[in-house]
Chains A and B, each alone.
Chain A
Amino acid sequence: MAEQAASEAPTRLSLAGRLFGVLRTVPPTALLGLFGICFFMFFAIFAPWVAPYGVFEIVGGVWQPASAEHWLGTDNLGRDLMSRLIWGARLTIFVALAATLLAFLIGVVLGFTAAVFGGWVDQVLSRGNDLLMAIPTLILALVILTVLPSDLYILILVIAVLEATRVFRISRAVAADIVVMDFVEAARLRGEGWGWIITREILPNALSPLIAEFGLRFAFAVLFLSALSFLGLGVQPPVADWGGMVRENKDGIIFGIGAALYPGAAIAALAVSVNLVVDWILNRTASLKGGRGDG
């Protein structure tokens, strides 16, 4: 039966139809998350056009309440809070995204290399990674950033290297599962080099769990960057980013002024949105490597 069933070509739907079909199966929580991500991405990309005021522009008094001109009020220096929030989205998401991409580049390449080669290569890479992971991330970052000059790209690099340790772990584990499959052995017996094995045999099969991990790491990067900025070692003023904005406005809370809550809420909303989507992706890929349970 199977022979016959497989020989009948499956009827394929149009691209739009398939997209609709996929969207229909998306659970409401994931839709909410997708909407949240799109919302923030929109402001991040179109900040220069949608922000009502400039990011450094002082437009009113200190900590003015919300009004028709300033929807969210003004901050500790009298700058428009909503404009800074929008510009802050741009910078926060850019730094977090760049750091996560870099972290994945480093982590995946090294993780796959460790899994494919095994032996002492694996030992050196894995133990080195353990060494980095043994030191609390935030403290390590604080030490490094205090020593190095405060520069946006150094900040990205530091976050990326620290995040890469986590990416290394998961990509090594996923790849180790795939490496023992017969098709990888077949490629080895064919005489393929490790470049082909990593990019053509392993990567396509590791993609689902890695995409989910990417979302998760991105959310962590946002939180990490915010924490660094809050402590004064991340993005430097007067440039706006969410963590920095919380620090700038935190003293207002004593006087009952909620200006620090808006960037705080934005950080939380973005992190939650990403997590909602990631949960859905993880459940969808339950049958593949890295999935966890049905749903």
Chain B
Amino acid sequence: MAEALLDVRKLRIEATVYPPDQPPHDIVIVDDISFTLEKGKVLGLIGESGAGKSTIGLAALAYGRGGVRITGGEVMLDGVDILKLGLSGIRSIRGARVAYVAQSAAAAFNPARRLGDQVTEAAVRHGVMGRSEAMQRARGLFDVLGLPDADHFGERYPHQVSGGQLQRAMTAMALCPRPDLIVFDEPTTALDVTTQIDVLAAIKRAIEETQVGALYITHDLAVVAQVSDDIMVLRHGKMVEYGPARQIIETPQEDYTRRLVSVRQALKEEAADQSQAVLTVEHVDAAYGNAVQVLFDVSIHVPPAQTLAVVGESGSGKSTLARVVTGLLPPSAGRITFDGRDLPPRLADRSKDDLRELQMIYQMADVAMNPRQTVRTIIGRPLQFYFGMRGKEKTRRVQELLDQIEMPKGFAERYPAELSGGQKQRVCIARALAAQPKLIICDEPTSALDPLVADGILKLLMRLQADTGVSYLFITHDIATVRAIADSIVVMYQGRIVRSGPKSKVLTPPYDDYTDLLLSSVPEMRIGWLEEVLRTRKMEAAGH
């Protein structure tokens, strides 16, 4: 076995928390984590939010975020414990020998300086190489990472390149000083699915060519399966499972890993009869401020008690479609029919029943609820507003709804801040349900959630549909979710519908070019998928 580049032994990290109404106390956020990493290898750290994966990644730079203390264990880099180094020792390591790639490249670059200067800064400042040599290396890296016009790419400013390019530029920044180790902290999470795959491929190629060691942090097991040699599954700051990537993906030993691997499998059979419609949108055009047209001739129909999934990348107009249906953005042309009657285009012209029967669930549950209202008020308000319920009757109905969304007793008096992410989304669902709607517009309700929590929400939505016969207009960019829950699908691209129909038809070849790109970009949970896809794709992603 080769000499280990990074050897972490019994790492323990603590933080002080300041909960309201309680005295401050210390909690352990990473406990007894050990692993080794050889040169040129990639270790994937995977887990849901709060698993401690980013904290472990930063510990490889001997760094703890505000209030976080590394209280035990060793982090050996080439046989030297970097936790015992002084400030200047650590400084000579950070950026030069261990580099960090953050999730948000847009926030990590200084918008006022050229990319080339920023990419070479660490190498020059650490005295690893001279400025012209660093520029030379940066150009080489831009080329390896597949950035356009590599010779002049460094002359651009951050706002002049796309998000996927910026993320690759940050990878170049990390690689420039010839580090031994790079920590990738969710580098593709904020990107669109078709862009993610290019960045993923670029990172993988760069790691292979430079023979750098890497820690790859993500919550997406399918992504980590493409780039990692080894995988460590984390939960609540403890190790769940650690082994070669193939073994973790194909023969997981622990129950938690098995659940992660099997997440989002089909929850629903496609409905056979899709001829009826509770909502139809016909030939709708829409524009913001009479200038920028966002929707072009969009027609959809949602059958009763079924789910229509609207799929597309950011900027495809899918959220705008939701705004048009809700009346927040009156369309400039076209017609909307709801439950057999014409729906007035403007929100102000709609009747109370129009409003009641058309409810909405948002992506960010924490800003969709007033932080100064209790769960009782949040769920109770529609009951009072639409049905005039008060007092005991309202209390009883609120409790019924809470039971329906599978919330434990005693949650009615809580504020949103006292709920977890999944619970917040459940309360939002209950609020929509309280109005007894015919249609709920779901705007990416699961994309901000951890996979297992998201799975729970999807299952709940499906059960509620079976119980109450509500229809969903489900907006998402996640094909896996669509596969699991949709009856019919609409694929949107640049404000137009490029493909629509029942799920079985839309997801079966022959595809149009865009649908092919979209479907092929969704990481699959098997080794070697990335290489296969790059060989067989028809269309290049827009961010390329």
Which listed residue (A1, A12, A183, A190) contacts B369, Cβ 8 A?
Answer: A183
A189 touches B (CB below 8 Å): yes
CA distance in complex: A13, B364 (Å)? 32
> Once the chains bind, are B420 and A6 in contact (CB under 8 Å)?
yes
Check A10–B385 contact: CB distance below 8 A. Answer: no
Q: Does A136 contact B (CB under 8 A)?
A: no
The smallest C-beta distance from A191 to any residue of chain B, in angstroms, reads 4
| Residue pair B418, A10 in contact (C-beta under 8 Å) | yes
A182 touches B422 (CB 8 A): no
A135 an interface residue at 8 Å Cβ cutoff? Answer: no
- Asked whether A190 lies within 8 Å of B381 as measured between CB atoms, the reply is yes
**Nearest CB in chain B to that of A17: its residue:** B21
CA of A184 to CA of B423, assembled, Å: 20
Q: Chain B residues with Cβ under 8 A from A146's Cβ?
A: none
Q: Check if B63 is an interface residue, CB within 8 A of chain A.
A: no
Whether the Cβ atoms of A183 and B422 lie closer than 8 Å is: no
Q: Give A12 to B359 CA distance when docked, in angstroms.
A: 36
Minimum distance in angstroms from B370 CB to a CB of chain A? 5
Q: Is A11 an interface residue (CB 8 A)?
A: yes
Please name all residues of chain B whose beta carbon is closer than 8 Å to the beta carbon of A1 when the two chains form the complex.
Answer: 50, 235-236
Interface residue from A9, A11, A181, A189 paired with B347 (Cβ < 8 Å): A189
Q: Does A130 reach chain B (CB closer than 8 Å)?
A: no
Interface range for A = 20 to 34
User: How far apart are the CA atoms of A3 and B425 in the complex, in Å?
Assistant: 12
Interface residues of A in 113-141 (CB under 8 A from B): none
Residues of A close to B419: CB separation below 8 A: 6
Closest to A183 in B: B370
A205 interfacial contact with B, CB 8 Å: yes
- Tell me if A7 counts as interface (CB < 8 A to partner B): yes
In-complex Cβ contact of B355 among A18, A183, A191 (8 A): A191
Q: Are A12 and B21 in contact (CB under 8 A)?
A: yes
Q: Please give the distance in Å from B22's CB to the nearest CB on chain A.
A: 7
- The reply to whether B368 and A186 contact each other, CB–CB distance below 8 Å, is yes
Q: Tell me the chain B residues, 355-380 only, with Cβ under 8 Å from chain A.
A: 355-356, 358-360, 362, 364, 367-373
Which residue of chain A is the closest to B456 with respect to CB atoms? A3
Q: Does A192 make an interface contact (CB < 8 A)?
A: yes
Is the C-beta of A201 less than 8 angstroms from some C-beta in chain B? yes
Q: How distant is the Cα of A260 from the Cα of B326 in the complex, in angstroms?
A: 66
A185 within 8 A of B: yes
Question: A7: nearest residue on chain B (CB-CB)?
Answer: B408
Q: Which residue of B lies closest to A206 (CB)?
A: B372
- What's the minimum C-beta distance from A91 to chain B, rounded to whole angstroms? 37
Structural contact, B347 and A183, CB atoms closer than 8 A:
no
Distance in angstroms from A10 CB to nearest chain B CB is: 6
Residues on B with beta carbons closer than 8 Å to the beta carbon of A11: 21-22
The reply on B421 being an interface residue by CB < 8 A is yes
Distance between B178 CB and nearest chain A CB, rounded to angstroms: 37
In the complex the two chains form, is B360's CB within 8 Å of A186's CB? Answer: yes
A192 to B: closest C-beta gap in Å: 7
The 10 closest A-B pairs by CB, nearest first: A204-B372, A2-B420, A182-B368, A191-B355, A6-B420, A182-B362, A183-B370, A1-B236, A3-B420, A182-B367
The chain A residues found within 8 Å of chain B, CB to CB, are 1-3, 5-7, 9-13, 18, 21, 181-183, 185-186, 188-192, 200-201, 204-205
* A-B contacts besides A6-B420, A189-B358, A190-B385, 6 pairs, CB < 8 Å: A1-B50, A2-B49, A6-B419, A183-B369, A189-B359, A205-B370
Q: What would be 15 A-B contacts, judged by CB atoms less than 8 Å apart? A: A10-B20, A10-B418, A13-B22, A182-B367, A189-B326, A189-B328, A189-B347, A189-B355, A189-B359, A189-B360, A190-B355, A190-B435, A191-B355, A191-B356, A205-B372
